[in-house]
Amino acid sequence: MEDIKDKNNFLRIFYTYRPVLLVLPALILFIIFFIIPVLSMFVLAFDKPVTGVLDLQGEWTLKSFLRIYNRSLYFNAAVTSVSLAALASLITLIIGYPLAYLIAKTENVTRNTFLMILVLCAMQLDMVIRLFGLMVLMGDNGLINGALMYFNIIEKPIGLMYNKLGVLVGLVQFSLPFMVLSLIGIIRGISPAVVEASRSLGATPNQAFWKIIIPLSMPGILAGTLLVFAISISSYIVPALMGGWKVMVMPLHVYQQIAEMGKWQFGSAIAVVLFCTSLLSVIVYQRVAIRIGGGRA
C-alpha cells in the first residue's frame, strides 16, 4: 500500500516537472563543461603561481594579478589589447554604418537577401582563411607592395603587417559583419515618418541624417561597438597571424604561458583579466540590447 502511494507521488512529481527534462541535457552539459571549468580557471588564477605540470597549490594569493600589473610586458599587452579593440570598434562603426544603412533601406527582397548572404558568408567563413587572403594582400611580397613596386611608386616594400596596423586591419575585417548585423535592425526600425517630419520642417537631408537618423540609431551603434570590442579583444588568431607575434596582446600571452611555459596559474590569471574585460562590455551590451529589443534581446 505504502509502495503504491510512493509510486504515485513519484509519478505526480514526474509529470509536474516533466518539461524540465527538455532542458536537462543542455543544462547538465553547461554546468559540467562550462560553469565548472570557468570556475576552476578562476580558482587557479588565485592560486600560488608555479611552473610545470598543472597542480593546485591550495594557497590563495593575488601574486599572478600583481605580476600582470607590475610587469610592463603584461601591462602593456593589456593596454595594447584594449586600445586595438577600441580602435577597431570605432573604425568598424564608420565603415559598417553605410553598408548597414544600405541593407536596411534596400526593399527589393532579392537584392536584400543577396547582400545579407554576402555579409553572412564573410562572417561565417573560417577566420584563418580570411587572414590567408589578407596576408597575401598585405605581406612584404604581397599584392599591394608588389603593385606599388611594379608601378615604381615605392622602391622597397612598406611594412603593412607584422605590426599594429596589420592587426588593426585584421580586426576590422574580422568584426565588420557583427557591426553591420547589429545596426541593420535598428536602422530599419526608424520610422520614415520621423525623417519626413524633419524634412517638411525644413531640415536638409544632411541635417536629417545627423540630427535624426544617427541619434535614433544610437542603441544599435552602442550595441555594435560593444560587441565588436568584446570579440576583438578576445581574438587570438588575428594578432597571431597579422602581428606575427610582434604585437603582443592578452590572448597571445594566455596561450604562451600555458602551452609553451607551463605556467598554469599565471596563464589563468591573464585569461581571467581577459574574461572580465570582455564580460564587462557584454553586460553593458546586453543592457543596451534589452532596451532595443524591448526585453526580448
Identity of residue 132? F
Q: Which residues contact 286 (CB under 8 A, 6 or more apart)?
A: 297
Q: Do 84 and 259 meet the contact criterion of CB atoms below 8 Å apart?
A: no
Burial class (CB in 10 A: 0-12, 13-18, 19+), 284: middle
Given 93, 135, 161, 168, the residue binding another protein (CB under 8 A): 135
Residues 140-159 within binding reach of another protein (CB under 8 A): 141, 143, 146-147, 150
Identity of the residue, 135 or 164, whose beta carbon is nearer to another protein in the bound complex = 135
CA atoms within 13 A on the CB side of 235: 32
Give me 285's grid cell.
Answer: 551590451
Given 64, 77, 93, 101, the residue binding another protein (CB under 8 A): 101
The region of 3-11, 63-71, 118-126, 159-167 touching another protein under the rule CB under 8 A is: 118-126
Residue 4 touching another protein (CB under 8 A):
no
Helix and strand numbers (H, E) in the chain are: 15, 0
Kindly state the helix (H) or strand (E) to which residue 240 belongs, with its residue range: helix 237-242
Task: Report how far apart, in Å, the C-alpha atoms of 159 and of each of 85, 92, 214, 217, 269 are.
Answer: 21, 22, 36, 37, 33
Residues 61-90 within binding reach of another protein (CB under 8 A): none
Residue 29 touching another protein (CB under 8 A):
yes
Kindly state the helix (H) or strand (E) to which residue 113 belongs, with its residue range: helix 109-124
Supply the minimum distance, in Å, between the C-beta of residue 196 and another protein.
Answer: 5
Identity of the residue, 6 or 140, whose beta carbon is nearer to another protein in the bound complex = 140
Identity of the residue, 6 or 61, whose beta carbon is nearer to another protein in the bound complex = 61
Residue 14 touching another protein (CB under 8 A):
no
Number of Cβ atoms within 10 Å of the Cβ of 272: 20
Residue 161 touching another protein (CB under 8 A):
no
Q: Which residues contact 271 (CB under 8 A, 6 or more apart)?
A: 41, 45, 254
Site size for another protein (CB under 8 A): 104
Kindly state the helix (H) or strand (E) to which residue 175 belongs, with its residue range: helix 164-189
Residues 202-261 within binding reach of another protein (CB under 8 A): 205-206, 208-209, 227, 230-231, 233-234, 236-237, 240-241, 251, 254-255, 258-259
CA atoms within 13 A on the CB side of 61: 14
Identity of residue 113? T
Identity of the residue, 6 or 99, whose beta carbon is nearer to another protein in the bound complex = 99
Supply the minimum distance, in Å, between the C-beta of residue 76 and another protein.
Answer: 19
Residue 49 touching another protein (CB under 8 A):
no
Residues 163-202 within binding reach of another protein (CB under 8 A): 172-173, 176-178, 180-182, 184-185, 192, 195-196, 199-200
Q: Do 95 and 239 meet the contact criterion of CB atoms below 8 Å apart?
A: no
The region of 39-47, 63-71, 82-90, 155-163 touching another protein under the rule CB under 8 A is: 39-47
The region of 2-10, 20-28, 57-65, 72-80 touching another protein under the rule CB under 8 A is: 20-28
Identity of the residue, 63 or 236, whose beta carbon is nearer to another protein in the bound complex = 236
SS3 category, 210: helix
Identity of the residue, 6 or 125, whose beta carbon is nearer to another protein in the bound complex = 125
Supply the minimum distance, in Å, between the C-beta of residue 184 and another protein.
Answer: 7
